């Protein structure tokens, strides 16, 4: 990825993105490629505008050969209203774009053929992103609407499962195209692979939030509170050890090295360590 910074936002572009214009010209698809790029710009610009209006700081915008994705910090840390607004803005932008294209054709500004191309591209991008599977916009909206009722983990799992259904559908279309026309749709294949590859990232983002939430909730000890003592080997994973914490008591960890008591640490030290390194072990905190 090549990156540059615009204000507070990091803009990253996949190297293969630079090959798309050359590929489009070589295949005689310059007009189609231009319409697709315009639809993607409208889609991502709508996300960025909605994020700004909702008071959400966008840390990164990724541009890839098959689309783009904004990263406003940890998506799962946003309120349901913020997440719903930011996610819905992309498809809404494409709906506006196809409406404008139809109006321009009606007024004679665009030829019917060009207008139809913009209508088809924007409609396809809008409907694809409205599918309720992660990491698509529809999956974000589904999470925003269901996480209070189902819980964060189950809601993300549901979104990932539906995302895999979408990927399976895309692979089916690719295979059907190969069988009927002999042509391999690279764009649909790339979209399906992207959806499947996003699942670990979605789970990591949720895990980061689950770790950060109790860290932010910790308060300095004032009046006496209950203390929970937990014995743990220095090689134990930090995230596993943190499952022993309790909301009603502070947790102190007795860290053992080769079955001998080596040191003590507490939940705050482990939480701070986990935020910096998900794969860290308890021994790194002492």
Own/partner contacts of 94-100, CB < 8 Å, gap of 24 or more, are 94/39, 94/42, 94/43, 94/46, 94/122, 94/123, 94/125, 94/126, 94/129, 95/122, 95/126, 96/42, 96/46, 97/38, 97/39, 97/42, 97/122, 98/122, 98/123, 98/126
Q: Which two tokens stand for residue 137?
A: 């916009």
Q: How far apart are CA 254 and CA 242, in angstroms?
A: 13
φ, ψ of residue 3 in degrees (nearest 5): -125, 150
Annotation marks residue 44 as catalytic? yes
Q: Which candidate in 3, 44, 234, 279 is catalytic?
A: 44
- Find the Cα–Cα–Cα–Cα dihedral 239, 229, 225, 209, rounded to 10°: 0
Q: How far apart are CA 230 and CA 51, in angstroms?
A: 43
Cβ-contact 50, 78 below 8 angstroms: no
Q: How far apart are CA 71 and CA 86, in angstroms?
A: 11
Cβ-contact 73, 208 below 8 angstroms: no
The SS3 of residue 29 is coil
Distance of alpha carbon 45 from its chain centroid, rounded? 17
Active site residues: 44
């Amino acid at each position: 990825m090549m990156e540059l910074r615009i204000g507070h936002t990091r803009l990253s572009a996949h190297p293969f993105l630079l090959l798309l214009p050359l590929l489009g010209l070589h295949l005689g698809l310059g007009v189609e490629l231009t319409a697709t790029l315009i639809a993607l710009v409208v889609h991502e610009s709508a996300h960025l505008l909605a994020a700004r209006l909702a008071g959400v700081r966008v840390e990164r915008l990724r541009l890839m050969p098959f689309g783009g994705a904004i990263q406003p910090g940890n998506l799962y840390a946003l309120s349901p209203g913020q997440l719903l607004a930011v996610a819905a803005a992309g498809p809404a932008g494409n709906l506006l774009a196809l409406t404008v294209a139809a109006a321009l054709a009606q007024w004679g500004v665009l030829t019917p053929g060009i207008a139809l191309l913009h209508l088809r591209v924007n409609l396809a991008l809008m409907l694809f992103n409205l599918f309720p599977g992660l990491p698509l916009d529809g999956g974000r909206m589904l999470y925003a609407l269901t996480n209070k009722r189902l819980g964060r983990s189950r809601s993300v799992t549901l979104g990932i499962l539906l995302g895999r259904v979408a990927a399976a559908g895309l692979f089916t279309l690719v295979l059907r195209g190969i069988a009927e026309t002999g042509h391999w749709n690279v764009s649909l294949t790339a979209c399906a692979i992207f959806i499947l590859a996003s699942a670990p990232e979605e789970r990591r983002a949720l895990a980061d939030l689950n770790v950060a939430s109790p860290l932010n909730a910790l308060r300095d000890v004032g009046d006496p509170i209950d203390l929970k003592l937990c014995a743990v080997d220095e090689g134990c994973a930090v995230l596993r050890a943190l499952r022993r914490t309790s909301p009603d008591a502070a947790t102190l960890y007795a860290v053992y090295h080769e079955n001998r008591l080596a040191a003590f640490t507490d939940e705050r030290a482990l939480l701070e360590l986990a935020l910096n390194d998900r794969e860290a072990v308890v021994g790194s905190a002492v």
